[in-house]
Structure 1
Amino acid sequence: MVYGSRFSNPSQSINFLSLLRPTLCLLIATLFAGPAPSWSQTPDQAADFSQAIEAMRGGRLDEAAAGFAAVVKHQPNFAEGHFNLGLVDEELGKYDDAVASLHKALELKPRLRGANLFLGICEFRLNHLDAAAAAVQRETAAYPKDGTAWMWLGVVRLSQDRAEEAAEALDKAAKLKPDDQNILYHRGRAHLLVSKNSYAKMFKLDENSWLVHRVLAQANAEADRHVLNTAV
């Protein structure tokens, strides 16, 4: 897994998306755990909404998409309906459609939890990194204790080659969710890049500095230790 210029099209990285899929599924389950939002509805419309949610939970995404589309057609000011349609379109890989639905949800309810996060994820998969960062930052500002949002901010910053900002975001994510392996993986990667960039700048400033020689000596010692451990 690579980032930034080494990760030019996030939407095509199957391994990357597979790594984060469990986190997304958990977040979706959390968002759907509570009762359905209150809204002006007929019994048939309420039933359609509930059936669409059950279809999404059951992985019947086309059925869920049709259900949520019908809901928002009859209730165009129902923010949660647009949000859920956006989630389904994200799962189906229809990222442009998802972005449109999520924007509509946020227009109707700016602090709708998860909407900016999934908007950022969709923008990320479209390789719109600045838009992705802006959306996820809005989520972390509104919900600063959401470890998943901080993780995604770190992931986006890595893709922007902004390793120090990525490390800062992922440190916050790790404090909130210390046992999350996805967060630990990305956090480790971010700090490795910070270290690499720092040493590269040292070498550029003065390649003959004693500190540069010390870093090289430490690197050689670590390499020798790795060889010995492998041999054993």
Structure 2
Amino acid sequence: MSDIDQGIQYMKEGKLEEAAQYFTETIEKNPNDPVHYINFGNLLLHMKDYDRALGFYKKAIELDDQAATAYYGLGNVYFEQDDFNHAKENFQKAINLGLEEADVYFMLGMTFLYDEQFKLSLPYLQRASELNPDDVDVKFQYGLALAQTQQLDQAKETFNKVLHIEEEHSDAHYNLGVIALFDEDVDKALEHFDKALEIQPDHLLAGNGKKQIEKMLEENE
């Protein structure tokens, strides 16, 4: 196992000090290899040491301005600090340089979503879902973006796909309940809100939705 592989293995095992020591040694041995700086940046990002992570990613880019994963790392640092413009710029750069992975499309989509640019988030979340069709989080966020842009039929289909992967997904049930209300299917909405509360009894939105329906039904008696 190489130093790089061992360092990443330490990270996976949660042995962060050992990982830091390994990456430090590999940089000392190979100071002109951008991969080591990217790996150390990933470790620092995981530790929420954003300033230092930024420095390591930028050093990697100094050594190789085509290092797509370094731009992806930069994007994550900026995203974590709510600097969405710089996050978008770096995620897009990573994609432009050929990083064809679900994670980078997902993060670019999430950046647009957090910045309330819902329509712009859609193609990236859709692509992430295509690249990783069994990822519940990706599919759920894509469903949210569809719902935010009033594409309710597609959102409904997507949330149902989420439930096909993870039957006990309370937020998918809640959102299907909201869509059912838009469709004026009160019984179906109540069914989904009840299911969300069965899975997660403290689901405030589902609880509020159920109360609103019950109040409405009482008033109509």
Given candidates 153, 170, 188, the residue that maps to 2:173 is 188
Q: Which runs of 5+ in 2 are unaligned?
A: 1-10, 14-26, 186-212
Structure 1 stretch displaced more, 167-176 or 130-139: 167-176
Deviations 1:146-185 (A, max 9, x none): 2211011011122223333222212212222334xxx421
Given candidates 193, 198, 203, the residue that maps to 2:183 is 198
Alignment of 1:144 with 2:133, yes or no, is yes
Counterpart amino acid of 1:50?
N
Q: Any idea what SS the aligned residue of 1:114 has? A: helix
Number of aligned positions between the proteins = 166
Counterpart amino acid of 2:120?
A
Segments of 4+ moved more than 4 angstroms = 219-224
Give distance in 1, aligned partners of 2:82 and 2:74.
Answer: 12
Shift of 1:140: 1.1
Q: Percent same amino acid among aligned pairs?
A: 13
Q: RMSD of aligned C-alpha atoms?
A: 2.8
Instruction: Kindly indicate whether the alpha-carbon contact (under 8 Å) linking 2:102 and 2:129 is maintained by their aligned counterparts in 1.
Output: no
CA distance 1:65–1:174, change in 2 (3 Å):
farther
CA distance 1:114–1:46, change in 2 (3 Å):
closer
Residue 39 (structure 2) aligns with: 50
Residue 99 (structure 1) aligns with: 88
Alignment of 1:163 with 2:145, yes or no, is no
TM-score (norm 1): 0.63
Residue 227 (structure 1) aligns with: none
Q: Any idea what SS the aligned residue of 2:150 has? A: coil
TM-score (norm 2): 0.66
Q: Which runs of 5+ in 1 are unaligned?
A: 1-31, 35-40, 201-218, 225-232
Instruction: Kindly indicate whether the alpha-carbon contact (under 8 Å) linking 1:120 and 1:134 is maintained by their aligned counterparts in 2.
Output: yes
Residue 68 (structure 1) aligns with: 57
Deviations 1:3-36 (A, max 9, x none): xxxxxxxxxxxxxxxxxxxxxxxxxxxxx859xx
Q: Any idea what SS the aligned residue of 1:199 has? A: coil
Give distance in 2, aligned partners of 1:61 and 1:46.
Answer: 18
